[in-house]
Structure 1
Amino acid sequence: MPLMSLEKPPAQPGQVWAHVGQPFVGREYDLIVLGAGRMGAACALYLRRLAPRRSLLLIEEGGLPNEDGATLLSPGVWSALTVPPERRAEAQWTRAQLAGALAPDPSLNLSFQARPLLELAAAGGAGWEAVLDVLGRDPAPTLPAGLADLQALPWARLDAQAARYRPGALALACAQAAIGAGADLMLNARAHLDGGGVGIERLSVTNTHQIVVHETHRLRAGRVVVALGAAGPGTVEHDLGLHTTHARAYRQFPRLNHPSTEQTPTLRAAGLTLRPQHGGFTLVPAIHHRDPAGYEPGGGRLTGVPTGLRRETLEDLVAAMDALPALATGALELGRSLMDVPGAWFALPGGDPDGLPRHEEVAPGVHLLLGGPHADTLGLAVAYDLAATVAGTQQRPWAGRPG
C-alpha cells in the first residue's frame, strides 16, 4: 500500500460546528472520535481514508488544536534511538509521513527539519571522534560553548536520522484533511461515554470568562475512539466502570536562553532532552514515574525562593547542573509561578514511563488510543493501525519494510 496522501480531497467536505451559535441536530454516526489532538485527528483522517463510507464525527473540548492539551507542548522530536527493533519499521513509516507523505501541501506546514540527535553520557557509547566523523563538523558549531561539560560527558551516541517538527501543526493538518475527506468536527464540546453512544455538552463562555453548558445531546455510534490523552483512561474508568493499567504524569518544559541555531542538533544529556527552539532551548525532563490520581503540581524553591518549577523538575535540573553548567546560570527561566513555566499531563501507556503508544478495545465498540512520551516517533503508525483495525483491513504500509 502506498503512503497516504492528502492531495485529492473528496468533493464533499464535512461540516464544522465551532460555537453554540451554529445549530446542531443530533444524529447517528458510524464512528465518533473523542479528542482532536494529533492522535485523535490522525486516527480520524485514516478512518476516512480506509472506511470512506462510514460517517464520522470528531469532537474536541477546546479549539483546534487545543491550547490546553499536551499536543502543543510535546517535544516534536522524532528519534528511533530508543525504539525496540520490532517497532522501527513503524517509526520509519511515521517519519516518512512527517517528512511530506502526510501533508504534501506546502500550506500544511509541519516545520519538519531533519536534524541529528546527539546523546551525551558519562560512560558507554562511542568517543567524540567517531561522532564528529559522522557529523562532518568541528566540536564548536556542534555544541554551543558553555552548554555542556565534555569532560563529564565524554561519550556519545548519534541518531543521524532524527528530526524536529510541530505536533500542533500536525494535529491541525490531520483535522483539516479529515474534514476535507468528509469527517464532521465539533469544537468546544465536552463528551462522555454513554452506553452505545456519546453524550456531549456544547460549551459557551460568558463575558466573565466562565465556561457554561449551553446544550446537551446524545449521539448513537457504531464505534467510539477515545483519544483524550492523559484523560482517556480516566474517562473509560469513570464512564464505563472499567479498570485500566494506564496512568498519567505531569511534565514541565522550562526554557534555557542559551544560544542555539537551526543547525544545532537536539541533545540528550543528564536525563534531559534539549530541543533547540527560538534561538535557545526547550528543556524536556525525563518522566520517572506515574503521578497519583488527584495530584496537583505545586511549585518548588531554589535557595529558599519560590519558583515556577515544580519540585520534581527542579530536582532534575539541579542534578544536571554539573554536566550542563548552563543550567546554573541566569539563562534558565525559573518563573515565579506555575503559570510561567509551561506544563501538561501526559498519558503513560501501561503505567510505564517507557510505555509505547498503543490502542486497545476496552469494551465492545469502544477503543482507547494512547500516545504518551513516544508519540513523537510512533504516534501516527499506532493511529493508522487502529483505523485499519476498525476498517477491517489487514494491510499495514510498514509491513515488510526494514526498520
Structure 2
Amino acid sequence: MTSSGRVWAHVGQPFQEQEFDVVVVGAGRMGAALSLYLRVTAPHLSVLMVEEGGLPNEEGATILAPGVWTTLGLPTEHTQAARWTREQLQHHLGDVQFQERPLLELAASPLPDGQASADLAAEFPALNTLVDLNALPHARVDRQAATYRPGSVALNAAQQAIKLGANLLLNTRARLTPSGLTLERLTVTNTHQIVTHEVRSVTARSVVVAAGAAGPHLTEHGLGVHTRHGRAYQQYPRLNLPSTPDTPVIRVQGLTLRPQAEAFTLIPAIHHRDPHGYAPAGGHLTGVPTGLRREVLEDLVNLMDAVPALSSEQLQVGRSLSDLPGAWVALPHGQPGAPSPWPPQWEELRPGHFLLLGGPLADTLGLAVANDLAQTLARS
C-alpha cells in the first residue's frame, strides 16, 4: 500500500530532503493535477510540490479563474482533450461543485450554427432582464457547458496526490539552477514582512515550472532560456443582479457573465499581452477615477447599449485597483494564425526542465494538458 506524502506547512517543520525524481514548482490546479497524474501513472517516481503561498494560493490565478467549461468556439482538434477534462471534473476530483449550465453566446451579427436570440427568451428568462435582444438578435448555445470551482480542483488534486505519496512544501519560493532548485522557506515577522527564514537546495531528475503567469520569467531568470509566452492582468468585476442555479452563462462580444454567489462575475476579454514591467492602473469614467483598468472599462462602455445593466449602479467598478479582484494570467504562445488563442501547453526548455502553462482556456483543456505531461515524464 502506498504511504501518504509529507506536507511542510511552516518553517518550524524541519526540511532535510535533498533529492526527488520530479519537483513541481507551483501547486495551482495545473501543478497539483500534474502531481496527481504523476503519482497515478508513475508511482515509482518521487514527487515534490513547491508552493510559494498556501493551498490554494489566494494570490494566484487559480482561485479567481472563471471555472467555465465549454466547447463553444473551440477548434475540433481540442475536443478530445476538452471531453477528457470534463470527465475528470465530473467524476475524479472530488467535490468541485461541477454544475451543468448552458452557455449562450449573443451577437449583433450572425454566428456559426446560430439561431435567433428571441427564440431563447422564453427558455432563459434571465435574457429579458440582462440584455437587449434587439441589439443582439443572434445567438448560439452550448447546452453541455458547465461551471465549477478551479480552487477546489487545486485543493482536491493536491490532497489526492499527497495521499498517493506526493510531498508538498508550502510557503516556499523556488529559484531554478542548472542542477536543481534553491528553495527559500518563507516566514512572517511580527511587523508582517515576508522574509526568507532558511535556504535549502534540492536536486531533481526533472523540474516542472507550473507557476502560472510567473513561470516564463522564473525559467528565463533561472535558466537563461527565453520563451515567447506572455501574460496579462485580468480583473473580474461583479454585477450585482440576481442569479440562480438555473441562470445560464452569457457571453457577449468577448465579455462573459458568469452566475456566481447569487450575482454575476464578469470575465472580460483579453485583447493582448501586457508588457514586462507593466503596472495595472484604473481608468476614468466621465472624469471619475475607477478601479477598472482602462481597456476593460472601454469594453464595458461599448457594451452598455446591448447590456444595459452595465450602465447601472449594480456594476462594481471600485475606486482603486485593490477594490476589484484580479490576477496575472499566463498567455501561452501559440502558432501564428492559430484559431484558438493561448491554449494550455507544456514544453521542454532544456533537458530535464519543463514549463507548464494553463492560461485562459485552462478551464476547458488544462487537466488534459497536465496529464499529457505526466505521461511524458513517466516514459522518460
Length-normalised TM-score, structure 1: 0.90
Distance 1:145 1:304 in 2: 31
**Corresponding residue for residue 252 of structure 1:** 235
**Corresponding residue for residue 263 of structure 1:** 246
2:360 match: secondary structure: helix
Distance 1:293 1:179 in 2: 35
Distance 1:337 1:84 in 2: 38
Using the aligned pairs only, state the percent identity: 60
Q: What is the Cα-based RMSD across aligned positions, in Å? A: 1.5
Distance 2:32 2:271 in 1: 28
Q: How do residues 43-62 of structure 1 correspond to structure 2 at under 5 angstroms?
A: 43-62=34-53
Distance 1:225 1:210 in 2: 29
Q: How do residues 232-243 of structure 1 correspond to structure 2 at under 5 angstroms?
A: 232-243=215-226
Distance 2:359 2:158 in 1: 20
Q: Is the 8 A contact 1:245 1:351 kept in 2?
A: no
Deviation per CA, 1:152-184, whole angstroms, max 9, x where unpaired? 001001111100000000000000000000001
Length-normalised TM-score, structure 2: 0.96
1:331 match: secondary structure: coil
The runs of at least 4 consecutive aligned structure 1 residues that moved more than 6 Å come to none
2:54 match: secondary structure: coil
Picking from 79, 82, 86, the partner of 2:70 is: 79
Picking from 60, 63, 71, the partner of 1:69 is: 60
Distance 1:379 1:201 in 2: 28
Picking from 99, 111, 116, the partner of 1:113 is: 99
Deviation per CA, 1:273-320, whole angstroms, max 9, x where unpaired? 000011110000000001000001011111111111111111111111
Picking from 156, 168, 174, the partner of 1:173 is: 156
Distance 1:271 1:318 in 2: 13
Q: Is the 8 A contact 2:117 2:138 kept in 1?
A: no
Deviation per CA, 1:58-84, whole angstroms, max 9, x where unpaired? 000000000000001110000011221
Q: Is the 8 A contact 2:118 2:133 kept in 1?
A: no
Is residue 111 of structure 2 the alignment partner of residue 128 of structure 1?
Answer: no
Is residue 378 of structure 2 the alignment partner of residue 387 of structure 1?
Answer: no
Is residue 146 of structure 2 the alignment partner of residue 146 of structure 1?
Answer: no
Distance 1:244 1:92 in 2: 29
Q: Is the 8 A contact 2:4 2:164 kept in 1?
A: yes
Distance 2:23 2:211 in 1: 12
Distance 2:293 2:209 in 1: 30
Distance 2:60 2:135 in 1: 37
Aligned length: 374
Q: 1:233 is aligned with what amino acid?
A: P
Q: 2:264 is aligned with what amino acid?
A: F
Distance 1:138 1:312 in 2: 34
Q: Is the 8 A contact 1:199 1:219 kept in 2?
A: yes
Distance 1:81 1:222 in 2: 39
Picking from 370, 373, 376, the partner of 2:363 is: 376
Q: How do residues 283-322 of structure 1 correspond to structure 2 at under 5 angstroms?
A: 283-322=266-305
Which one is further off, 270-279 or 65-74?
270-279
**Corresponding residue for residue 16 of structure 1:** 7
Distance 1:29 1:88 in 2: 35
Distance 2:71 2:364 in 1: 7
Q: Is the 8 A contact 2:117 2:139 kept in 1?
A: no
Q: Is the 8 A contact 1:290 1:351 kept in 2?
A: no
Q: In structure 2, list runs of 5 or more residues that go unmatched.
A: none
Over 3 Å counting, the alpha-carbon distance change for 1:131 and 1:238 in structure 2 is: farther
Deviation per CA, 1:136-165, whole angstroms, max 9, x where unpaired? x825x4425431000000100111110000
Q: Once the 2 structures are TM-superposed, how far is the Cα of residue 129 of structure 1 from its aligned partner?
A: 6.8
Q: In structure 1, list runs of 5 or more residues that go unmatched.
A: 1-9, 394-403
Distance 1:271 1:155 in 2: 14
**Corresponding residue for residue 99 of structure 1:** 90
Distance 2:82 2:125 in 1: 26
Q: Is the 8 A contact 1:270 1:323 kept in 2?
A: no
